[in-house]
Amino acid sequence: MRVDVQPYDPDWPRAFEEIRAELTEALIGVDVQTIEHVGSTSVPGLAAKPVIDVDIVVTDETKVAPASAALEAIGYQPLGDLGVPLRYAFSAPDNGHRRNVYVTVDGCLSLRNHLGVRHVLRTNRELRDRYGRHKLALGENDYDDIDGYVADKSAVLQLILAEAGLEADERAAIAAVNSSTEV
């Protein structure tokens, strides 16, 4: 299989805003800190898979269940943590934009990973362009599944995570997940 990596689409932020509006309405009455556009589609100028990544941030683990129930009520299916502590994945209904939605606990490694990578790639054009070229090249490869693509972009991602200030043990934990689990 080939991974569909496309040049940056200036429509991705608008798509995120539509998703955020839907999620905000569904999460009325749930204690949510913020809804963040993360992943490569959140970085202007960066090539990406045309899938919007969304982190719904809650303050602590006790807030995960109410957020999850609200998502399930509008057709999202829970997938569990997929091996990533304090990040709970959901498959989206087949309506609207393609998206990956996660409920994350504030301060967890997954959220710091997502926000750190976004910040570095939004502020370091050279690293953003290097990562984008790498991802476009990987999009030309044939893979058995998405896990091979994720593993193959891990080396450049490790540089980005170091730039974001994540410690060596945190980067190693992220690399371990990226080499063994679909994220």
- 51's enclosing H/E stretch is none
Burial (Cβ within 10 Å: 0-12, 13-18, ≥19) of residue 151? middle
- 139 assigned to some structural domain: yes
- 2 assigned to some structural domain: no
| Overall pTM > 0.85 | yes
Strand partners, 101: 54, 90
- 5 assigned to some structural domain: no
57/63 Cα distance (integer angstroms): 9
Residues in the chain: 183
Q: Please state at what angle helix 12-26 crosses helix 64-73, rounded to 10 degrees.
A: 100
Domain count, the chain: 1
Q: Which amino acid is at 13?
A: P
* CATH number of residue 27's parent domain: 3.30.460.10
- 136 assigned to some structural domain: yes
Q: Which domain holds residue 145?
A: 12-180
- 143 assigned to some structural domain: yes
DSSP-based helix, strand, coil % in the chain, nearest 5: 50, 15, 35
User: How high is the pLDDT of residue 183?
Assistant: 41
- 125 assigned to some structural domain: yes
Which pLDDT tens digits describe the chain residue by residue (183 residues)?
999 999 999 999 999 999 999 999 999 999 999 999 999 999 999 999 999 999 999 999 999 999 999 999 999 999 999 999 999 999 999 888 999 999 999 999 999 999 999 999 999 999 999 999 999 999 999 999 998 999 999 999 999 999 999 999 999 999 998 886 444
Sign of torsion, CA 131 133 136 140? negative
- 1 assigned to some structural domain: no
- 24 assigned to some structural domain: yes
- At 144, give phi and psi (nearest 5°): -70, -35
